């Protein structure tokens, strides 16, 4: 990962540069920035993955720089490195992924850089924002709040969506999560990849294996990744599913 250091103190820049250079998988970008204006210009030119950002600097301070980065579609991850511990709340309000107090310890720096490898809130919003809001087409990932925090599920790994009361169950290759999104909104956004088989169910077109009629006259749809389990297809959707399968 490429790391840009922003600090108005030469000794602080040099120390951070040495610490980052000793870590495998991280590269310090040159030149470093000595103030907020330089930082924004270098971020635009160098496209760093992570910015180690001081807070108190001449001109634009670190919080102002981070706030401007939040306005960008694909901002770098921000880790504040400061001698002042009173700005932590403001730091996380501008989507910082870490807040380190000087003198920065190597183990704390490594922990923050590893955390920066995960999407921050602004990056997460860009990846998971509904198409109607972003204007850039369907999302590539679905976000869900779980016991682990926020999980990102690639759309390509989604097997089906099933609505149950106010929540939607998303079944994917690694398990299940609950979404607080209407099934109709998901259908509108991902209609080219998912087909409705029931009033409460959407399935991934590419996961469909076969449609089978039971001895009682019901229709079941078998999907790749469900280990032989099947979903019920309502009678009103059977014709549409058959037609779609002929085109696969």
Residue 29 and residue 2: Cα distance in Å, rounded? 6
For residue 98, what pLDDT is reported?
83
Q: What is the DSSP string of 177-232?
A: EEE-S-HHHHHHHHTTTEEEEETTEEEEGGGEEEEEE-TTS-EEEEETTSTT-EEE
Q: Do 41 and 31 contact (CB within 8 A), yes or no?
A: no
Residue 145, pLDDT score: 72
CA distance 89 to 92: 6
pLDDT tops 50 at residue 132: no
Query: pLDDT grade, residue 81 (50/70/90)?
Result: very high
Q: Once rounded to an integer, what is the mean pLDDT over residues 64-85?
A: 86
This prediction has a pTM of 0.52
Q: What is the per-residue pLDDT for 134?
A: 47
Interval 193-206 mean pLDDT: 95
Domains and CATH numbers, the chain: 2-123 (3.40.50.2300), 137-246 (2.40.50.1020)
Q: Minimal CA–CA distance to 189: which of 155, 157, 146, 225?
A: 155
In the prediction, which pLDDT does 123 show? 57
């Amino acid at each position: 990962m490429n790391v840009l250091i922003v600090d108005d103190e030469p000794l602080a820049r040099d120390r951070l540069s040495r610490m980052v250079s000793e870590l495998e998988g991280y590269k310090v970008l040159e030149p470093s920035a000595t103030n907020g204006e330089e930082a924004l210009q270098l971020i635009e030119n160098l496209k760093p993955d992570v910015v180690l950002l001081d807070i108190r600097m001449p001109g634009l301070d670190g919080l102002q720089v981070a706030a401007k980065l939040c306005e960008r579609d694909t901002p770098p991850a921000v880790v504040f490195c400061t001698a002042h511990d009173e700005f932590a709340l403001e730091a996380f309000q501008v989507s910082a992924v870490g807040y380190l107090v000087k003198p920065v310890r190597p183990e704390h720096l490594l922990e923050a850089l590893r955390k920066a490898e995960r999407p921050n809130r602004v990056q997460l919003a860009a990846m998971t924002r509904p198409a109607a809001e972003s204007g850039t087409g369907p999302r590539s990932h679905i976000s869900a709040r779980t016991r682990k925090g926020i999980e990102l599920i690639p759309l390509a790994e989604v097997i089906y969506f099933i609505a149950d009361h106010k929540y939607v169950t998303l079944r994917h290759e690694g398990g299940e999560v609950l979404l607080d999104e209407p099934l109709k909104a998901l259908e509108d956004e991902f209609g080219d990849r998912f087909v409705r088989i029931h009033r409460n169910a959407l399935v991934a077109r590419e996961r469909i294996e076969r449609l089978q009629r039971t001895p009682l006259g019901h229709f079941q749809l078998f999907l790749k990744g469900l280990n032989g389990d099947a979903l019920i297809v309502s009678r009103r959707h059977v014709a549409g599913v058959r037609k779609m399968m002929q085109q696969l």
